């Protein structure tokens, strides 16, 4: 339930940021950023569901184990909790960076794609100069939870 609440709050926060900054940018830029935030949240949700399935922690699996042994092994629950925390953190990092890109006048949120896995951020797309690559990487590195930034950004004036 906390996971669902966290995802809903994250989506609401992302939608609020997109709406707030939408008045200063064209609708297509805002829609693209909103789509990328939505995709990141959906990806996080899918990763959580898959991890729960792999670890046999779906509600029916828990009921079956409780009926069989009277308990659920804590180690499994901790692994699932870590997977959920990681997926949620990655979605939060991606949304935060995309929000910063939307507000930065020197960088285009439309031309820079952001993907986060286990705190490692990958920036891809095109920018007008090498200076823009530096700015994008700095912006990503200054985001809480980021462990490493990999840039495959290409300079296309």
Give the model confidence (pLDDT) of 3-49 as tens digits: 766 777 777 777 766 666 665 555 566 667 777 777 777 777 777 77
Q: How far apart are CA 12 and CA 8, in angstroms?
A: 6
Instruction: Round the average pLDDT of the chain to a whole number and report it.
Output: 78
The model's confidence at residue 74, banded by pLDDT at 50, 70 and 90, is very low
Rounded mean pLDDT, 96-108? 91
Alpha carbon separation from 5 to 97, 114, 117 (Å, rounded): 21, 24, 21
Give the model confidence (pLDDT) of 41-68 as tens digits: 777 777 777 766 666 666 777 677 777 7
Helices 27-54, 74-103: crossing angle, 10 deg rounding: 170
- State the DSSP H helix or E strand holding residue 144, giving kind and residue range, or none if neither: none
pLDDT of 77 strictly over 60:
no
pLDDT of 81 strictly over 70:
no
Predicted pLDDT of residue 76: 47
* Nearest alpha-carbon partner for 78 in 63, 57, 106: 57
pLDDT above 70 as % of the chain: 71
């Amino acid at each position: 339930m906390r996971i669902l609440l966290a995802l809903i709050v994250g989506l609401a926060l992302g939608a609020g940021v997109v709406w707030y900054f939408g008045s200063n940018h064209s609708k297509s830029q805002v829609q693209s950023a909103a789509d990328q935030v939505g995709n990141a949240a959906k990806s996080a949700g899918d990763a959580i569901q898959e991890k729960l399935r792999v670890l046999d922690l779906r509600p029916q699996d828990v009921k079956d184990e409780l009926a069989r042994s009277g308990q659920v092994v804590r180690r499994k629950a901790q692994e699932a909790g870590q997977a959920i925390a990681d997926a949620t953190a990655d979605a939060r990092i991606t949304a935060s960076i995309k929000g910063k890109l939307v507000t930065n006048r020197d960088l285009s949120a439309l031309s820079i794609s952001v993907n986060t896995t286990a705190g490692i951020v990958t920036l891809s797309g095109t920018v007008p100069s090498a200076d823009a690559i530096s700015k994008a990487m700095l912006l990503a590195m200054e985001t809480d939870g980021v462990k490493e930034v990999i840039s495959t950004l290409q300079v296309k004036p």
